[in-house]
Amino acid sequence: MDRAALSNLLDGRTVLRDASASGNLKVMAALLGPAFRGLIARRGREATIAMPLRHDARFDWEYTRRFPELGRLYEVAKSAQWNAASDLDWSRPVDPTDPAHPLLPDSFLPVVTLPIWRRLSERERNVQRHAMAGWLLSQFLHGEQAALFAASQVTQAVPWYEGKLFGGTQVVDEARHVEAFSTYLTRKLERLYRIDDNLFVIVDALMSGSDWDLKFLGMQILIEGLALGAFGTIRARTGDALLKELLTYVIDDEARHVWYGVLALKRHYVDEHQTTPEREDWAFEIVLLLRNRFFAHEFYDEFYGHAMTRAQWDELVLASDLMAAFRDTMLKRIIPNLRRIGLLSPRVQARYEAIDALRYAGGKDAGQLTRQELLEDAAASPTPGPPARAAR
């Protein structure tokens, strides 16, 4: 076992501790396999992997329309299509070392407050700025690949005809996002990092589960919510015009995807009463896993492995501006939606209170946020505007 796998074994204990926070053995057992494959076997390091799938594809030979809101969302999605190759101006130069147009604010580098950063030359700092932007956008790209696969699985598995039609547009959207991030990374940044081990655990857990609504909950509400928040955070703070434009297009698509998740699961959980305490526990566990698990260990190995232990690095990351911004924006985007789909009952509220997340419950859900609020990563305002889903 190499040093990283050994450190991951210790991380694995944290994952399992998080995963057992609800005391739900079924949820914990479902995360054991993904934690082993992601953290110990480190399967995310491999160039290509095959994941076995276990879900039912539902056919509907009657094509009965039973979900007009999803039908309307499908119409919006069809007319909102764009072309990543021709609608973005790829001729624009991107210079990750240009201080006038920084890709990310320096405060997103966990080391920026330490003497070790002050001792670096400007050239060395630029190398690290470039690398951190490459690492972060690589994780966005890997998340998009997972979304592409999850969207195609969900399209097969959902019971509603209109859901399958909308799902088809989401598959195309996610393919376009993979294309856009991949082009930006390879053509403009010339960097590509492998998937973060902890992100791999979450993706593996979602892909290999068999219940369609759990896949849906994990992907459409939780991962898409995280992505929407993270994209908004970076879009609002980046100084690079091409990245800002790319994220503007992607955020408009993601807003539809989250709204699809909320509409579908509200119907299933609240209106049709098809929920169980396990759903609430699962949602809480994934929120815990998402909240604190992106440590940029590849960046650490490259630049700081000689200077501090991984535990010291993790502490720095947890206290960094980057993590604080992501945690805040992710909870802001996810918690109101959990309330709307009925997964924030009094039974689990104390748990969210304990991680300081319940204060987001009164914020705007996906149907109330305006496009501008999503793009500017703004705090929820008390006046609802037109829904973001219909924006483009």
Which range of residues in 103-111, 207-215, 255-263, 348-356 is near Fe ion by CB under 5 A? Answer: 255-263
CA distance linking residue 16 with residue 136, whole number of Å? 25
Which is closer to Fe ion, CB of 140 or CB of 269?
140
Which is closer to Fe ion, CB of 125 or CB of 177?
177
CB of 61 to Fe ion, least distance (A): 29
Q: Which of 18, 254, 285, 298 binds Fe ion (CB under 5 A)?
A: 254
Residue whose C-alpha is closest to residue 127's, from 300, 305, 303:
303
Q: Which of 35, 147, 202, 283 binds Fe ion (CB under 5 A)?
A: 147
Which is closer to Fe ion, CB of 174 or CB of 252?
174
Which is closer to Fe ion, CB of 95 or CB of 179?
179
CB of 110 to Fe ion, least distance (A): 26
How many residues of this chain interact with Fe ion, rule: CB under 5 A? 7
CB of 257 to Fe ion, least distance (A): 4
Query: Structure tokens of 219?
Result: 């992907």
Any idea what the Cα angle at residue 195 is, between residues 193 and 197, rounded to 5°? 125
201 CB-side CA count, 13 A = 30
CB of 220 to Fe ion, least distance (A): 8
Which is closer to Fe ion, CB of 147 or CB of 344?
147
Dihedral angle sign, alpha carbons of residues 260, 262, 267, 269: positive
Which range of residues in 19-27, 143-151, 317-325, 379-387 is near Fe ion by CB under 5 A? Answer: 143-151
Which is closer to Fe ion, CB of 188 or CB of 257?
257
Q: Are 338 and 263 in contact (CB under 8 A)?
A: no
Which range of residues in 138-146, 229-237, 347-355, 367-375 is near Fe ion by CB under 5 A? Answer: 138-146
Which is closer to Fe ion, CB of 37 or CB of 257?
257
CB of 195 to Fe ion, least distance (A): 15
Which is closer to Fe ion, CB of 189 or CB of 250?
250
CB of 171 to Fe ion, least distance (A): 10
Which range of residues in 15-23, 25-33, 246-254, 284-292 is near Fe ion by CB under 5 A? Answer: 246-254
Q: Which of 177, 267, 340, 392 binds Fe ion (CB under 5 A)?
A: 177
Any idea what the Cα angle at residue 103 is, between residues 102 and 104, rounded to 5°? 90
Sequence-distant (≥ 6) Cβ neighbours of residue 84 within 8 angstroms: 176, 177, 179, 180, 183, 249
Which is closer to Fe ion, CB of 104 or CB of 147?
147
Q: Are 244 and 257 in contact (CB under 8 A)?
A: no
Which is closer to Fe ion, CB of 177 or CB of 235?
177
CA distance linking residue 328 with residue 323, whole number of Å? 8
- The neighbour count for residue 305, using CB atoms within 10 Å, is 15
DSSP-H helix ranges across the chain: 3-19, 25-35, 68-79, 115-118, 122-157, 161-183, 197-208, 212-216, 224-237, 241-265, 277-291, 297-303, 310-318, 321-340, 346-354, 371-375
CB of 120 to Fe ion, least distance (A): 35
Which residues inside 213-232 make contact with Fe ion, applying CB under 5 A?
Answer: 224
Under the phi-then-psi rule, with left for phi > 0, alpha for psi from -120 to 50, and beta for the rest, what region is 276?
Answer: beta
Which residues inside 256-285 make contact with Fe ion, applying CB under 5 A?
Answer: 257
CA distance linking residue 310 with residue 249, whole number of Å? 36
CB of 58 to Fe ion, least distance (A): 21
CB of 231 to Fe ion, least distance (A): 9
CB of 216 to Fe ion, least distance (A): 12
Which range of residues in 14-22, 76-84, 145-153, 269-277 is near Fe ion by CB under 5 A? Answer: 145-153
Dihedral angle sign, alpha carbons of residues 270, 285, 333, 96: negative
Which residues contribute to the site for Fe ion (CB under 5 A)?
Answer: 144, 147, 174, 177, 224, 254, 257
